[in-house]
Structure 1
Amino acid sequence: MGFSIANACLAIVALLWGATNPLIRKGAVGADRVKEGNVILRSLLEIKFLVLDWKYSIPFLINQSGSVLYFFTLHHTDISLAVPLTNSLTFLFTWMMGRIIGEEPVSKRTVLGMLSIIIGISLCCLDKAG
């Protein structure tokens, strides 16, 4: 796997993680309403709730497929580039999907922070490529 293919895989991982984070958060709504006295029974019922609810389980499985791709891609890329690239793009994709599904907009400071991260990661990629 070449450098550009590895970077493309990392971007796909970030997209899979970022696009599913808001969906998982939205799909988990209601799991906290499980009210059983026993902690173990409550935990099992919460897990059952989440596994049986497609609005949670499908985004979760897609998210985990991103983790599998990330694991295999790490064998072919520099970890000092892979981690910041994937995590920063994940943050950006999470924000974008959140807006698409109607979550509250972020502050101007957060947008400035995201732009700073993108610029920083772009500089890191350029440094590694050159």
Structure 2
Amino acid sequence: MAATLGQVCALVLVAVLWGGSNPLLKRATGNVEPVQEGNRLEQLLQEMKYLFFNYQYLVPLCLNQCGSLIYYLTLASTDLSLAVPISNSLALVVTLVVGKFLGEDIGGKFRA
């Protein structure tokens, strides 16, 4: 079963949303200071409060989840053996490009 142009575009959009949000999520959670509360539940609630009121974390998280929703809806009509490689491989490439653009050290000898 061949994928239509709309399905391929949806999978590319998924890759852009996933790959673009990954470095932003990494950056937003990189400066999270551990919260020391009395018990584990209080600590979890404090950490969740910090993250969900931090727009630098919340916006990329919402974009990432939109990508997941589009991926889920696209899987209903797309061959799985085509959808997974397209979305995941392109997401990796987009993650590398966005990460490099944000100044991350991605390793290797890649020079941009």
TM-score by length of 1: 0.77
2:96 and 2:37 map into 1 onto residues whose CA distance is 34
Structure 1: 5+ residue stretches without partners = 112-130
- In the other structure, the counterpart of 1:91 is 92
**Per-residue deviation, 1:86:** 0.6
TM-aligned CA deviation for residue 105 of structure 1: 3.1
In structure 2, the gaps of 5 or more residues are: none
> Which residue is 1:36 aligned to?
37
Matched, 1:55 2:75: no
Tell whether 2:76 aligns with 1:75.
yes
Q: Over residues 62-102 of structure 1, what are the superposed CA-to-partner deviations in whole Å (9 max), with x where a residue is unaligned?
A: 11011111111111210011011111111110111101111
Once the two structures are superposed, residues 11-64 of structure 1 have per-residue CA deviations (whole angstroms, 9 ceiling, x without a partner) of 100000000000011111233421224111111111111100000001100110
**Count of residue pairs brought into register by the alignment:** 108
**Could you tell me how far apart the structure 2 residues matched to 1:63 and 1:86 are?**
13
SS in 2 for 1:103: coil
Q: After the TM superposition, which parts of structure 1 deviate over 3 Å for at least 4 consecutive aligned residues?
A: none
Distance of 1:32 and 1:80 partners within structure 2: 41
